[in-house]
Amino acid sequence: MTEILKTEGLSRYFGAVVAAEDINVTITEGEIVGVIGSNGAGKTTFINMVTGYLPPSAGTIAFDGHPIKGLGPRKLMRKGLSRSFQIPQLFLELSVLDNLSMALSASEHRHLEMLRPVRTPERIAAADEILNQMGITQYRDEMVTAMPQGARKLLDIAIAMLANPRMLLLDEPTSGVSTDEKHALMDTVMEVVKRRGLTVLFVEHDMEIVRKYVTRVLAFASGVVIKDGPVEDVLADEQVQELVTGKRQQKPTEGKNDTQDETQKGGA
Amino acid sequence: MALQKSEIMLVVAAAVITLLSFAVPDWLAFTTTLAIASAMVVLGVVMLMRAGLVSFGQGLYYCIGGYAVGMGGRFLGITDALVLIGMGVAVTVALAMLLGLLLTRYREIFFAMLTLAFSMILYGILVKSQNLGSTDGFGVGNWTLLWFDPEGGKGSKTVLWLATAVGLAVALFLNRYFGSAIGLACEAIRENEVRVEYMGMSRRQILYINYVIAAAIGSIGGSLTSLAAGHVDPTMAYWTISGEFVFIALLGGTGHVAASFIAAMIFIMVRTYAVELFPNSWQLILGTVLLLIILFLPKGIWSLFTRKRRVAS
Amino acid sequence: MLTVWAILIDGLIYASWLFLVAAGLTVIYGVMRILNMAHGSLYALGAYAAASALGWYYNGVGDQLWIALAMIAACAVMIGALAGVIMERGVLRLMYGRDEVLMLIVTFAMLLILEDVMKLIWGTTPYFAYQPYAAMGRFNIGVLTVSGYQLMVVGVSVVVGLALWFWLERTKIGKILRSIIHDREVSEAMGVNVRRMFTITFMIGAALGAIAGGVTAPIISVVPGVGVEVIVVAFAVVVTGGLGSITGAAIGALIVGLARAVSIHTMPELELFIVYAVMASVLIFRPHGLFGQAVARKI
């Protein structure tokens, strides 16, 4: 398997604040990688840097062997690097079908066509297919404003997939979704991911979901990757338990006060 | 590509206007011509509104279109109306391609005020140009249309037919355009620019193309107006004229191309009477109606504008 | 050398006037995020009020210069604040929370209404109120002569600028306003009465516009439409400096004022463009003006 994403010394500072520092990650094609860490640990900063939303302060990023630092979202999408958002980024006052038609015309590089209707039969068929896979067919002709949060999350991810990416970064796909819906949502998403053979990196707070879908985990704390490895190893790691999954997994032991303070700093 | 329902409707409307033109008095034919011409400029404003932008300077291109007709006849001796209109479009496209580079970086009030500033620069140039008649402007010479020579060029019926034909072509084009990929992309930009970029589209490229086309259509409107009125003056570029186009666009809404034509007709008819009856209260009426539209017709006319604030996490 | 001095003095005089005109516009935008297109109409209102008051006063009542000047100030402030409170309470209040560009169209509607209201009140014949200008004579600075009244405008502009600075930086209301500028929602949650602050801000901004008009009345002939041209120039100044910043308005006024003076003395045919040329070249390098700040956006 080939390396698809590789970052070296990737860092981002906001003034004196360290949002991410010296992140060295290599992801192989086909991997499904979970990213964990408390709020403010640098997860979203990492995704924003990789997808061209935030320029890194230092370091390099390579996608498929080519340096991509400095490229904007648009060029990265074209290279096959797509993402979803913690807060779904949708065209709220357009219909779901129009949202998808737009994504399809963009992925075909035909979004500048002036005379042909954007809703071609082929695009409608492709939109219906993904709606069906995502289980949100009932909203097809509704405006996005009429959709509940969970369905919006799925539409956001569906749009990310329509770009025909090779790698998909999902920023907290289950946040804002009720606990009992989380598993169903992730089942749906991962089913489609597998069918399309995508490399996935996703940010998640729920360790149960991480265990269920992921083979490898990156644990972030205070802007640094503190642990990177197979899911069981990382979740069993003491430092990870203290800083990330902590209290839920294990009773606090002695001498941990210092590091807990650090978590709070990182989470600020 | 089969004809859509609204395309048939537009063709029928154009045919009806052409037939009625034989029956109506000259002043009504003239008013209708002006309405069609204004509607074209308004459609340019509507194109920008669909992308979430308000232009207070569409008069810039309206004026260029008008002056191109006047100057083409006066200095170059060109008489064919279609060539004159084409000249206006050429100049307009060249200028819009230049200004578009700067303007596509701006949104909301910045876009509105910068477009206003640019149209005021043209106004200022024209006011200072003695050989173009300064504030008085100048008369448009006689013109011909292909093999017609319409009664010394001022034939109100001929210009109505011309306006109807050109208006129909523009309306059919925009009807397609609004439902096309780029038309929807403009609405997508209004709704969420982040997502547009993350679909792999360039916001600036889309807005740029949209801006240039809107300008070109505005220029055609200006050319038709000057052919009909037989006169051009710098107020065509004055920003309150651009404000009137924004008013008509809001009155009609951005839902359908036909709305702009209907709204323009209403506007020009009402203005004709209001200016006679209440010469010093026309703007008062206009302002009040504008407030009423915004307050009581927000959906339909305004819903396309109330751009949802991008959610901050 | 003579030209250099002439440029500096003319530039300073014009810059002072520009600052007076632009100050109210930028204060209102800074606090309320409303670009008030009717600002020019407030300017015209101030000019009409001052001109008719002076007309009444000099028509047999008296000819004291200081009374005339006091009347300009009083009339302008009163009519500006009154119009401001009517516009804010009567119209803008119904629209808060809508899009910035919609608010622009709302103020455009108010501009249309005000223009005709002024025609209905004052008619279309010009008003002249040259007496204070004439009474203040001309001064020689070296070989150049400068009108005393225009020097006074420079003084008024400096005083207005300092007063605004003091108001925003040193008073309690100023502190509250700065908190609203910084984060409206948080200020509201902390118990700030944002609506009341908006009324106050709009009244002050409107009064500033009217003062600019009142002060200008003796220099021009007051006719319908004087305000309409003002808004475009004021906007150019404010954008050059950075929308919403008082310092920006002052610097923008200085740059535009000096640039225009250079143009008048060296290339008079370019006078009109220079304002926009300055604005465009600033915007190409700093899209939000010299002192403007880009709005951070998160996803």
Please write the tens of the pLDDT for every residue from B43-52: 999 999 999 9
> Which residues 202-261 of A are in CB contact (within 8 Å) with C?
none
| Gap between the Cα atoms of B73 and B188, Å rounded | 42
Scan residues 127-166 of C and list those with Cβ closer than 8 Å to B.
Answer: none
Mutate to test the interface with A, among C99, C298, C299 (most CBs of A within 10 A): C299
Q: Which residues of A touch C299 (CB under 8 A)?
A: 48, 53, 85-87, 89
Closest by alpha carbon to B84, among B228, B209, B233? B228
The domain spans of chain A are 1-71+170-181+199-268, 81-164
Chain A, nearest residue to B183 by Cα = A114
Which C-chain residues 60-119 have CB contacts (< 8 A) with chain B? 91, 94-95, 98-102, 104-106, 108-113, 115-117, 119
Residue A42 C-alpha, separation from nearest chain C C-alpha, in angstroms: 14
Among chain B residues, CA nearest to C276: B117
**Residue B38's pLDDT is what?**
95
Residues in chain C with CB shorter than 8 Å from the CB of B282 are: 116
Interchain contact A103–B (C-beta under 8 A): yes
A53 inside 8 A of chain C by CB:
yes
Inter-chain residue contact C112 with B239, CB threshold 8 Å? no
Low-confidence winner among A78-82, B230-234, C240-244 (lowest mean pLDDT) = C240-244
* pLDDT surpassing 50 at residue C110: yes
The more confident residue out of B312 and B281 is B281
Two tokens at C284? Answer: 């190409």
Specify the pLDDT at position A248: 47
Q: Which residues of C262-287 are buried (b: 16+ CB within 10 A; e: fewer)?
A: bbbeeeeeebbbbbbbbbbebbeeee
3-state SS, residue B112: helix
Q: Which of residues 177-206 of B touch A (CB under 8 A)?
A: 177, 179-185, 187-188, 191-192, 194-195, 197-202, 205-206
Give how far A89 is from chain C: nearest CA, Å: 8
Q: H-helix or E-strand containing A18? A: strand A17-28
Q: Which candidate from A118, A119, A163 shows the least CB-CB separation from B199?
A: A163
Chain B residue closest to A164 (CA)? B199
Report how far residue C231's alpha carbon sits from residue B109's, in angstroms, rounded to the nearest whole number: 13
Across the interface, of C105, C115, C120, the residue whose CB is closest to B294 is C105
Between the ranges B20-24, B84-88, C32-36, where is the mean pLDDT highest? Answer: B84-88
Chain A neighbors of B311, CB-CB under 8 A:
87
Q: Is B309 on the interface with A (CB under 8 A)?
A: no
Interface residue C296 vs chain A (CB under 8 A): no
Radius of gyration of chain B (CA): 19
Within 8 A of A53 by CB-CB distance, chain C residues are 299
More confident residue, A238 or B123: B123
User: Residue ranges per domain, chain C?
Assistant: 2-285
* pLDDT of B137: 83
Closest-CA distance of chain A to residue C294, Å: 15
What single-letter amino acid sits at B71? M
Average pLDDT, chain B: 85
pLDDT band at C125 (very low <50, low <70, confident <90, very high): confident
Residue stretches of chain A with pLDDT short of 50: 247-268
Instruction: Closest CB to B197: pick one of A73, A85, A119.
Output: A73
Provide the shortest C-alpha distance from residue A171 to chain B (in Å): 12
Taking contacts as CB-CB distances below 8 angstroms, the residues of chain B near C118 are none
Long-range contacts (CB closer than 8 Å, 24 or more residues apart) made by C277-281 = C278/C236, C278/C240, C279/B117, C279/C236, C279/C239, C279/C240, C280/B102
Picking from A61, A60, A27, A20, the residue whose alpha carbon sits closest to that of residue A42 is A20
Q: How far apart, in whole angstroms, are the C-alpha atoms of residue A257 and residue B258?
A: 70
Residues of B with CB below 8 A from C86's CB?
Answer: none
Whether B304 shows a pLDDT value over 50: the answer reads: no
Q: Give CA–CA dist A52/A35, Å, rounded.
A: 18
Tell me if C49 sits within 8 A of C79, measured CB to CB.
yes
Query: CA nearest B115 in C: which residue?
Result: C232
Predicted pLDDT at C1 = 65
Q: Cβ B117–C298 below 8 Å, yes or no? A: no
- Confidence band (pLDDT; 50, 70, 90) for B149? low
Give the CATH architecture of domain A1-71+170-181+199-268. 3-Layer(aba) Sandwich (3.40)
CB contact under 8 A, C102 and B302: yes
CATH code for the structural domain at A81-164: 3.40.50.300
Distance CA B125, CA B123 (A): 6
- The CA distance from A237 to the nearest CA of chain B, in Å, is 31
Chains contacting B (3+ CB pairs below 8 angstroms): A, C
* Secondary structure class of A8 (helix, strand, coil): strand
Is the CB of residue C299 less than 8 Å away from at least one CB of chain A? yes
Cβ of A92 under 8 Å from any chain C Cβ?
Answer: no
Nearest to C232 among B116, B125, B281 (CB): B116
| pLDDT mean over C106-132 | 87
Q: Pick from C117, C232, C297: which is nearest to B284 by CB? A: C117
pLDDT at residue C195 greater than cutoff 80: yes
Q: Nearest residue of C to residue B311 by CA position?
A: C299
Backbone angles phi, psi at A17, to 5 degrees: -85, 130
Pairing of strands A17-28, A66-67: unpaired
Nearest residue to C213 via CA among C101, C68, C117, C79? C79
A111 phi and psi angles, rounded to 5 deg: -80, 0
| pLDDT at residue C299 tops 80 | no
How many CB contacts within 8 angstroms connect chain A with chain B? 106
| Residue B64 pLDDT | 95
Strand-pairing partners, residue A117, are B180
Judging contacts by C-beta atoms under 8 Å, the chain A residues touching residue C296 are: none
CA distance A236 to chain B (A): 31
Q: Which residues, including other chains, have CB under 8 Å from residue A4's CB and lie 6 or more apart?
A: A27, A28, A29, A63, A64, A166, A167, A199
Nearest to B166, CA basis, from B255, B247, B227, B229:
B227
C280: CB partners within 8 A, 6+ apart: B102
State ipTM.
0.83
User: Span C2-285: which CATH code?
Assistant: 1.10.3470
Candidates B115, B130, B280: best to mutate against C (most CBs of C within 10 A) is B280
Q: Does A180 touch chain B (CB under 8 A)?
A: no
* CB-closest option in B176, B198, B304 to A89: B198
Check residue C86 and give its pLDDT. Answer: 92
pLDDT of residue C219: 86
- At residue B172, the 3 state secondary structure works out as helix
Torsions phi, psi of A3, nearest 5?
A: -70, 130
List the chains bordering chain C where 3 or more Cβ pairs fall under 8 Å.
A, B
